[in-house]
A = this chain, B = another copy of it.
Amino acid sequence: MGEVFSDATRIQRMLDFEASLASAEAQCGVIPASAAQAIASKCKAELIDFAELSKATALSVNPAIPLVKQLTALVAGDNAEEARFVHWGATSQDVNDTGLVLQIRQGLDILHADLDLLSRGLADLAMKYRSTPMAGRTLMQQALPTTFGVKVAGWLDAVTRHRARISEIRKRLQVVQFGGAVGTLASLGDKGLEVGAALARELELGIAAAPWHSHRDRVAEVATTLGLLVGTLGKIARDISLHMQTDIAEVFEPAGAGRGGSSTMPHKRNPVTAAVALAAATRVPGLVSTMLSAMVQEDERGLGNWHAEWETLPEIFRLTAGALHQMADMVPALEVDTARMRQNMNATHGLIFAEAVTMAIGKQIGKSAAHKLVEAASQQTTKSGKHLREVLQLDKSVMTHLSSADLDRLFQAESYLGAAEEIVDRVVAASRNEQPGGIALRSFHG
């Protein structure tokens, strides 16, 4: 992703716009075909003097202006006549924004591919541990048994929704920006819309009903969509890091040479991917709020707020893509200690099975009465350190309703997993039904 949002790629995408614009204008008879060819031949990032560009950008606060100047000089080097037609009828924001759209398209392709990979990795993991019991935890306390498969299915289901979201925003986003200085295309007389349509064809982008120079919901929506995705990556990372705590030790990121080591503690094995994903999840929300704040742009082009987008959106992409890529890479190598999962469920002397008992008794005396009964027994367990099963067995008011065999069953995780396995199946199936990003990609531009 660093690649897609590098200076070199940025400039190349802007040059792609200029080449396509010239070609479109030649097709519409606005400029000579020879000029279009001459321009296209110079639209190569390697011909650009980046140092000069950077210097001039600082003065004009806009890279498009000095870029057009350099391109014009390059074309004029061969033929002054044809250089007249560089950037014909466009405004600097046309090239900035369309270049950005091209970068974003490429960025979304990469995200989509990594999401598909992560999706497959999670689906495999969910199926593998579909029936593996572990403690479910709410508010950071052990609550009831669940399976590791259900936990992973929760992650996967969110990933499936993110794949759908990214497909959906493409139809709004992947459009040309083309309006001229104030959005009327006045500089092209009556040829404006025709050129716009040809330009869209050239770039395989859609046509916007109107120029959107100061209407930034399109790019802000990319930011919010990535913000949602990175939130899920952070959630997965939070779960993994909690399970990887020395005192819990149920799930581990893979170890490796130089990976997650400590400068002073040779035994440390740190959750490196989780750190990256959590860092991204800490940083992206603030960046998204910047993109939303920046939407209040003045008239036909914003002052400062448009400029606030320039580094912010690429930063969001980099952080999201970095975290996603590491996560997709790491998930298949996740180490799971199923024995420890089972062992940890004993930490509460049977309290984790309290609800199972409550429900069983509740069928006979009502949930509320059962709740009180088991609450009392639980408190005794907490105080005495005796196992809940033991406490219950000595409690006549309980044993009126349950046999000893009932208790045996109730204190086994497997007998209180409800719909766990079906939920895993349902989520995995849904993840496989969602069209992969690669296919969805060009589907909307004929």
Contact = CB atoms under 8 A, between A and B. Distances in A.
Closest 4 CB pairs of A and B: A278-B304, A84-B366, A136-B182, A231-B295
A59 interface: yes
A277 interface: yes
Contact of A307 (B218, B239, B275): B275
A171 B12 CA distance: 39
B279 A305 contact: yes
A17 B241 CA distance: 31
Contacts of A285: 286, 288-290, 292-293
Interface string A368-387: 11010011001001100000
B72 A368 contact: yes
Nearest to A349: B267
Interface string A176-220: 000011111111111011000000000000001111111111101
A345 to B, nearest CB: 10
A237 interface: yes
A363 to B, nearest CB: 9
A358 B84 CA distance: 12
A440 interface: no
A422 interface: yes
A299 B137 contact: yes
A217 B382 CA distance: 37
A297 B233 CA distance: 11
Contacts of A381: 267
A36 interface: no
A327 interface: no
Contacts of A13: none
A185 B283 contact: no
A336 interface: no
Nearest to A153: B210
Contacts of A301: 137-139, 143
A266 interface: yes
Given A81-B366, A210-B154, A307-B275, A143 B300 contact: yes
A227 B138 CA distance: 27
A330 interface: no
Contacts of A76: 368
A342 interface: no
Contact of A263 (B65, B140, B164, B276): B65
Interface in A219-257: 220-221, 224-225, 227-228, 230-232, 234-235, 237-239, 241-242, 244-249, 256
A108 interface: no
6 contacts: A68-B263, A138-B300, A141-B246, A155-B215, A217-B228, A281-B295
A289 B284 CA distance: 8
Interface string A139-156: 111111111001101110
Contact of A162 (B60, B64, B190, B217): B217
B275 A87 contact: no
A347 B355 CA distance: 29
Given A85-B367, A158-B215, A184-B423, 12 more contacts: A56-B258, A60-B258, A62-B263, A137-B246, A137-B298, A144-B265, A186-B419, A186-B420, A190-B419, A267-B381, A279-B304, A286-B288
B139 A271 contact: yes
A193 B419 contact: yes
A40 to B, nearest CB: 17
A375 B88 contact: no
A282 B216 CA distance: 14
A43 interface: no
Contact of A371 (B135, B138, B266, B355): B266
Nearest to A426: B209
Given A60-B260, A289-B286, A292-B231, A139 B275 contact: yes
Nearest to A424: B210
